[in-house]
Amino acid sequence: MSILPPVTPTPVQHRTKLTRGLARWLVAAAVAAIALGSVPVKAERDLPLPRFVSLRTNEVNLRAGPGVRYPIEWVMVRRGMPVEVLAHYDTWRKIRDHQGVEGWVHQQGLTGRRSALVAGAIRALHRRADRGSPVIATLEPGVLLQLSECKAGWCRAEVEGRRGWIAAAEIWGVYPGEEFE
């Protein structure tokens, strides 16, 4: 079975003008988010930088700076897409995607669930963490994988209901030698 990536694997440039009502709502939402989001920030500061996380929703605004007063430069449109957190500022995270696009997003647009993108060429999803084990699926570059663990250079991944193992060096979203459960 061959699994192909979705049609739009990259961010889409945002060109919508804000109305006054929407602008007021965004300011109110930002104030509420800062008030409500201030408790988890301290706990998150203990997490390592850089680190991989994923997008929480299908639409996450990527801003020029850490706050709603900065313009939206891109809209990330792929829920679950892995991104790399490079820096923190209050409730804002500076991230980078697999194409090197960087910007700031609110922490609520991110989740700690791990995912990865198939990198480079067509790759094999194996039944076990061994190149000699049976191939469950062949994966095209850009296919989004949900990761449950990585160890000894292999990651347990799920895509379209199929679970198997892929070499960590063949995906984007995991550091060399990184292990987690």
Residue 46: pLDDT band (50, 70, 90) is confident
Kindly tell me if the per-residue pLDDT of 181 is higher than 60. yes
Residues 54, 96: one domain? yes
Predicted local distance difference test score (pLDDT) of residue 44: 57
Count of domains forming the chain: 2
What range does the domain containing 140 cover? 116-172
Predicted local distance difference test score (pLDDT) of residue 23: 42
The verdict on residue 68 lying in a domain is yes
The verdict on residue 13 lying in a domain is yes
pLDDT digits (tens, 9 = 90+) for 90-141: 999 999 999 999 999 999 999 999 999 999 999 999 999 999 999 999 999 9
Kindly tell me if the per-residue pLDDT of 18 is higher than 80. no
Residues 17, 93: one domain? yes
Residues 57, 126: one domain? no
Residues 77, 17: one domain? yes
What's the mean pLDDT when you consider all of the chain?
Answer: 85
Predicted local distance difference test score (pLDDT) of residue 1: 64
Predicted local distance difference test score (pLDDT) of residue 45: 63
Kindly tell me if the per-residue pLDDT of 65 is higher than 70. yes
Residues 43, 68: one domain? yes
CATH number of the domain at 70, please.
Answer: 2.30.30.40
Residues 18, 69: one domain? yes
Predicted local distance difference test score (pLDDT) of residue 157: 99
Predicted local distance difference test score (pLDDT) of residue 31: 42
Kindly tell me if the per-residue pLDDT of 38 is higher than 80. no
The verdict on residue 103 lying in a domain is yes
What are the CA-CA distances from residue 71 to residues 31, 85, 108, 139 (Å)? 17, 20, 18, 36
Residue 4: pLDDT band (50, 70, 90) is low
The verdict on residue 177 lying in a domain is no
Residues 44, 101: one domain? yes
Residue 2: pLDDT band (50, 70, 90) is low
The pTM for the full model equals: 0.77
